[in-house]
A and B are shown apart, each in its own frame.
Chain A
Amino acid sequence: MLRKIRIVLAALFYIAVTLLFLGVSWRINLWLGWVAKIQFLPALMALNFAVLAGLVVLTLVFGRLYCSIICPLGVMQDIFAWFGRKAKKNRYSYSPEKKWLRYSVLAVFVVCLIVGFAPVTTLLAPYSAYGRIINALFKPLYDLLINGLAVIETRFDSYMLSEAEIWMRSVTTFVVALLTLGILGLLAWRHGRTYCNTVCPVGTILSFFARFSLFRIQINEDKCRKCSLCEKNCKAAAIDFKNGTVDLTRCVVCGDCIDKCHDGAIGFKIVQSSNRQSSIVQSSNEPDVSRRAFLTGAAVAVGTAAMAQAKIKVDGGLAEIEDKIAPHRQTPVTPPGSVSARNMNRHCTACQLCVSACPNNVLRPSTDPLRFMQPEMSFEHGYCRPECTRCSQVCPTGAIQAVRQEDKSFIHIGHAVWIEQNCIPVVNGDHCGACARNCPADAIQMVEHATSDGRTVQVPAIDNERCIGCGKCEYLCPARPFSAIYVEGRSTHIS
C-alpha cells in the first residue's frame, strides 16, 4: 500500500516539475510553480523557513519520503531502477553506509555554498540537475512537437499555439545534462539510489533527521524467515536481512520491500520511545565576501560590422540575414530581481527554470566556469520586455526575487555601450536610428558625428543614467554579426 501511494504521489509531482521545465504553459507555472519552491535546496537558498521546517517535520515523521516523492531526480532514478529490475530480478544487495563519503561531500558542498563557489553547488544539486536535463535535452523536442502542431493547426485556421525558437543555448550545459542523465541513469539501473546515498547533499542533510523518524520501515523478526527478498529489492541498499536492520539514514521510504515480502514481515510502522530531535536548519548569514574577479580585460568585440547589403534589385526576394553573435561582456547581465550578479551567483542552483520560462529567449546558462550554468542575459534573439516578469515569478531559490511589472522597468540592470566601427551609418552611410527610436527608457538620442573619413553621420548618444539595460537596442541593431550597441551588466542593480 505504501508503495502504491508513493508511486501515485511521485508521479504527480514528477509530472508537475517536468511540465514546469518544458515550459508548457504559463498558467501551469502559476498553478504548479509551488512544486519547484518546495524543493529542499531552493527553499534553503531562499531562506524559506516555512518550507524547510515542513520538510524537516516531514522527514522526522515519515523518514526520507521527500526523496521518493518530491525530488524529481529521485523519481527519475526510480524509473531507471525499475527498468533495471525488469532486466535482472533481485539485483540489489546491502552495503554499509559510506559515512566518510557522504559527510565530506556535504562539507565541500556547504563550504562552496557559503563561499559562493557556484560550479560545485550547481552540479551537485539534485533538483537543478533534473531541471537541466529536461530543459537542455527534452524541451527542444517538446518545442519541435509544438511547432509541428502549429503548422497543422494553421491549416484549420487555429492560432492557439505559440511557436518557439529552438536553439542551443549552451553546449556545455547540454553536455553536462547529457552526462548527468547518462551517469545517473546507469547507476540507477544497476544499483538504485547510489547517488542519493553517497553524493546528494540534500540526502545527507535529510538523513540526519530520518534516523529519528516516527514512522519507519521495520523488520518483524518473528515473522521473518530470512529469505533475503527485501534486501535484494532495496534500491537504497539499506536493508541488512541477516541482522534484521534497516538503515534509516538511507531508506527512501519507497515501500518496494513491503510488497516483495511474502510473509508480511516488514512494514512501515510507528516506533515507540524513539528520541525525536527537532532542529531547524540554521542558515548562516553569509558574510559579504567579495571575490576576486576572474574576468578578462575589457576587450570589446571588434566585429567586421554590418551585414552584407544585398545588391539592390527591384524584383523581389528576401535578403539573407546573418546570425548575431553575442558580445563579450565584462559584467554579465542578470535579470531584474537578481539584485546583483553576486547575489545571483550565491543563490542560484542553475536549475534552468527561468531559462524555460523566459518567453523572449533572453536567458541562457553561462559558460563562465565561476558562474557555471547560472543564467545570464543576452539579446540576439529577443530583449527583456517591459511587461514580462516571468523569471522572477518562477525562481524557487530567490536568486531572482519577485518583481512587480510596474517596478521592473525602473531597475537598471545594465547600460548600453556603442561601438563606432560596427555602426551602420558609419560603415555604409545608411541612415539608421533603430536604437534611439525603440529605446523604452528614452536613453538614446541621435546626434551628428564626424567619422574618421570626414563624413557627417547621425549616431546614437547614450544617456547611461536613463538606460535600464533591457537590451532592445542590442536586439534591434541591424549590424551583424556583432551589434554596434550592446549592454554591459551593472554589477549591482540600481532601482
Chain B
Amino acid sequence: MNRRDFIKHSATAVAGTSVLLTACRKAEGLTSDSNSGLTSNDSDPSQMTMRVNPNTGDRVSLLGFGMMRLPTTTTGSARENADAPIDQEAVNEMVDYALAHGVNYFDTSPVYCQGHSENATGIALSRHPRSSYFIATKLSNFSEGAWPRKESQAMFKRSLEYLRTDYVDYLLLHSIGGSSRGRDAIETFNARYMDNGILDWLVEQKQKGVIRNLGFSYHGDIRVFDMLLQWHDEGKYHWDFVQIQLNYLDWHYAKRNNPRNTNASYLYAELEKRGIPGVIMEPLLGGRLAKQPTHILKEMKRADIHATPAEWAFRYAGTPEGILTVLSGMTYMEHLRENCRTYSPLRPITAEEDALLMHLADEICNLNAIPCTACNYCMPCPYGLNIPAIFSYYNNMLTEQNVPAKRWLNGYDRAVPRERQADHCIGCDHCLPHCPQRIHIPEEMQKIDNLVEQLKQR
C-alpha cells in the first residue's frame, strides 16, 4: 500500500470522523481531522500494550516494527522499487518515533530490501542504547549457494555486523515449509538446516548467549511445521517462539483462499497448547486488508465509525493472549502513528466484533482476489514479468465496480510496462517454490491474460 492509496482510502471515510480517542488522550487537547488516519495525534508511550515472553521475561511491545518495507528515496517502499536506495533519514525518523512511543521489537532479515534492510536497521537502532530494543533477524539461506555450512555461518556473522550488535534477541529459521527446485519442503529444510548442521550450530550460539531466543517462521508446507513442533515435544529442540501468519482472513479462511495453505486457527492452537509465544506476520496481508471495497468498508464503519480497516485488522491480530508481538512493515510515518495508537492500549476484539470480522472475511473471499502480499520473494522473474505489480493491479480493479474496458486496459499499461505483463508468462515455474502464500503464479497469470483478452476483444 503506498501513501497515495492510503490517503485516498482515508478520504473515503465518512466526513467528520474524529480520531479514535481514549480517555487519557482526550486530556492532551488534540485536534481532530476529517480523516482519522491522518491526524496529528500521537499515542502515549506508557499506554503501549506489552506482552511478556515466558522464557526470558522480556517485556515486548505488542506492536513490532517489520523492516521489510522500508521507505525509499523515490515513492513506494523498497519492496516495489528494487533499485531505489533506502531513505535512511526517514528510517531513522520512524525508528526514533517508534522507540519514543513504546515500540521495542524490530524484525529484519538478510534478504529484505534487496539485502539492505539489516544495514538500514543497524544504522537506525545503533543510535539508541542497545538495551532499549529487541532485534529479530533470520538465517535466510534460501539459495543453494548459501546452504554450505560455511556460507550459512557467514550469513549469520554478517547479520551481526550490519546490525552493529554482538547478540541477537530473536533469531529465526526463515520461512520453513518452503520448497526449492527439485526438492519438496522437508528435503529443503533438511538441506538448509540439518544436513549442514546449522541448526545445531545455532543452538550452540544460543548457549553462548549470542542468540537469546531461537525460533522459526512458517509459510507453506504444514508438514515441516508439524515436524518441528514434534521435535519440540520430543525434547530434541526447544522453540522459544514461532512466527506465523495470522489475520482475520487467514484465521478460518486461509484454506478457502488457497487449499494448499493452513488456517491460522490451527497454527495458533498448536503454539498455545505448548505455551510457545507467537509472533504475528501479515496482520494486514501486505496491506490488502487496509484497502476495502466500499460495501465492506461501510459495514465496518457502521460497527465503529471511527476505526479504519487497518485498525480492525491490528486489533484482531493482537487480541489472542499467546501473541508476543504483531509485526507491521510500516513504510510511512502515518502507518506508524496509527498503529501506535491502535495498540496504546489494545482494545481486544469482542465476541460480537469477532463475528462481524468473520462475516467480512467471508465477503472478502468472495471477491476472489489473488492473495498476493507483495513480499517479492518471486522476483525477479527470469523472463521479466512484474508479478506483484500485475497481481496488485488486478486486485485493485476488483474493488472498483464496473470498470470500463478502456480504463482497465489503460490503467494496466500504466501500472505494468507491456513487456512485463501477464501474457509474457511462459510457465517456467521458477517462481512457484518461492511464494509464501503458495499462489500458483503461472495459473493466475493465465487467468489474468484471459481477462485482458476478453476486454480487448470486446
Residues of A bordering B, CB below 8 Å: 150, 154, 159-163, 165, 307, 309-310, 312-321, 381-382, 385-387, 424, 430-434, 437-438, 476, 478
Q: For B427, what are the chain A residues with a Cβ–Cβ distance below 8 Å?
A: 431-434, 437
| A154 with B382: CB separation less than 8 A | no
| B143 with A313: CB separation less than 8 A | yes
| B430 with A312: CB separation less than 8 A | yes
Q: For B406, what are the chain A residues with a Cβ–Cβ distance below 8 Å?
A: 159-160, 162
| B382 with A309: CB separation less than 8 A | yes
| A317 with B457: CB separation less than 8 A | no
| B428 with A431: CB separation less than 8 A | yes
CB proximity of B249 to chain A, nearest CB, Å? 24
| B382 with A319: CB separation less than 8 A | yes
Closest 5 CB pairs of A and B: A316-B376, A317-B82, A434-B426, A321-B384, A319-B380
B386 is an interface residue with CB less than 8 A from chain A: yes
Roughly how many angstroms separate A163 CA and B430 CA in the complex, as a whole number?
31
| B456 with A385: CB separation less than 8 A | yes
| B426 with A154: CB separation less than 8 A | no
- Total contacting residues, chain B, CB less than 8 A: 44
In the complex, besides A314-B434, A319-B380, A432-B428, 11 extra interface pairs with C-beta distance below 8 angstroms are A159-B406, A160-B410, A163-B414, A316-B114, A318-B379, A424-B428, A430-B382, A431-B429, A434-B425, A438-B423, A476-B426
Q: For B457, what are the chain A residues with a Cβ–Cβ distance below 8 Å?
A: 385-387
| A478 with B380: CB separation less than 8 A | no
| A318 with B434: CB separation less than 8 A | no
Given contacts A159-B407, A161-B410, A387-B456, contact A317 B423 (CB under 8 A): no
Map CB proximity to A onto B107-118 as digits: 1 under 8 Å, 0 otherwise.
Answer: 000011111000
Roughly how many angstroms separate A289 CA and B423 CA in the complex, as a whole number?
43
Given contacts A313-B143, A433-B426, contact A318 B410 (CB under 8 A): no
B413 is an interface residue with CB less than 8 A from chain A: yes
| A314 with B384: CB separation less than 8 A | no
| B113 with A162: CB separation less than 8 A | no
Chain B's closest residue to A157 (CB) is B8
| A315 with B376: CB separation less than 8 A | yes
Contact of A430 among B377, B423, B424, B430 (CB under 8 A): B430
Q: For A437, what are the chain B residues with a Cβ–Cβ distance below 8 Å?
A: 427, 446
| B426 with A430: CB separation less than 8 A | yes
| A476 with B114: CB separation less than 8 A | no
A-B pair number, CB within 8 angstroms: 112
Q: For A434, what are the chain B residues with a Cβ–Cβ distance below 8 Å?
A: 424-427
Q: For B239, what are the chain A residues with a Cβ–Cβ distance below 8 Å?
A: none
CB proximity of A37 to chain B, nearest CB, Å? 28
Roughly how many angstroms separate A287 CA and B142 CA in the complex, as a whole number?
71
Contact of B424 among A313, A314, A478 (CB under 8 A): A478
Residues of B bordering A, CB below 8 Å: 78-79, 82-83, 111-115, 140, 142-143, 376-377, 379-384, 386, 406-407, 409-411, 413-414, 418-420, 423-430, 434, 446, 456-458
CB proximity of A440 to chain B, nearest CB, Å? 9
Chain A's closest residue to B411 (CB) is A159
Residues of B contacting A: mostly: loop
| A313 with B380: CB separation less than 8 A | yes
Q: Name the residue among B83, B407, B410, B420 with the largest chain A CB count within 10 angstroms.
A: B410
Q: For B143, what are the chain A residues with a Cβ–Cβ distance below 8 Å?
A: 312-314
Chain B's closest residue to A382 (CB) is B418
Roughly how many angstroms separate A310 CA and B413 CA in the complex, as a whole number?
24
**27 intermolecular pairs with C-beta atoms under 8 Å apart:** A162-B406, A162-B409, A162-B413, A163-B410, A309-B382, A312-B143, A313-B114, A314-B140, A315-B111, A315-B113, A315-B115, A315-B377, A316-B79, A316-B379, A317-B380, A318-B384, A318-B420, A381-B418, A387-B456, A424-B428, A430-B428, A431-B428, A432-B428, A433-B427, A434-B424, A438-B423, A478-B383
CB proximity of A422 to chain B, nearest CB, Å? 14
Q: For B423, what are the chain A residues with a Cβ–Cβ distance below 8 Å?
A: 438, 476
Chain B's closest residue to A323 (CB) is B419
Contact of B379 among A160, A163, A317, A385 (CB under 8 A): A317
CB proximity of A153 to chain B, nearest CB, Å? 9
Q: Name the residue among A162, A313, A386, A478 with the largest chain B CB count within 10 angstroms.
A: A313
Q: Name the residue among A161, A165, A318, A385 with the largest chain B CB count within 10 angstroms.
A: A318
Q: For B115, what are the chain A residues with a Cβ–Cβ distance below 8 Å?
A: 315
| B456 with A321: CB separation less than 8 A | no
Roughly how many angstroms separate A318 CA and B456 CA in the complex, as a whole number?
26
Roughly how many angstroms separate A431 CA and B182 CA in the complex, as a whole number?
14
Given contacts A316-B82, A476-B423, contact A162 B382 (CB under 8 A): no
Chain A's closest residue to B431 (CB) is A312
Roughly how many angstroms separate A386 CA and B78 CA in the complex, as a whole number?
40
Q: For B140, what are the chain A residues with a Cβ–Cβ distance below 8 Å?
A: 314
CB proximity of B11 to chain A, nearest CB, Å? 12
Q: For A312, what are the chain B residues with a Cβ–Cβ distance below 8 Å?
A: 143, 380, 382, 430
Chain A's closest residue to B375 (CB) is A316
Q: Name the residue among B113, B142, B383, B456 with the largest chain A CB count within 10 angstroms.
A: B383
Contact of A424 among B380, B424, B426 (CB under 8 A): B426
Roughly how many angstroms separate A24 CA and B86 CA in the complex, as a whole number?
41
Q: For A314, what are the chain B residues with a Cβ–Cβ distance below 8 Å?
A: 111, 140, 142-143, 377, 434
| B114 with A317: CB separation less than 8 A | yes
Contact of A159 among B381, B414, B419, B430 (CB under 8 A): B414
Roughly how many angstroms separate A315 CA and B458 CA in the complex, as a whole number?
38
Q: For B83, what are the chain A residues with a Cβ–Cβ distance below 8 Å?
A: 317
| A307 with B113: CB separation less than 8 A | no
Chain A's closest residue to B113 (CB) is A315
Contact of A165 among B381, B382, B418 (CB under 8 A): B418
Chain A's closest residue to B174 (CB) is A314
Roughly how many angstroms separate A312 CA and B112 CA in the complex, as a whole number?
15
CB proximity of A493 to chain B, nearest CB, Å? 22
CB proximity of B329 to chain A, nearest CB, Å? 13
Contact of A163 among B413, B428, B456 (CB under 8 A): B413
Chain B's closest residue to A383 (CB) is B423
CB proximity of B102 to chain A, nearest CB, Å? 30
| B114 with A162: CB separation less than 8 A | no
CB proximity of A310 to chain B, nearest CB, Å? 5
CB proximity of A213 to chain B, nearest CB, Å? 49
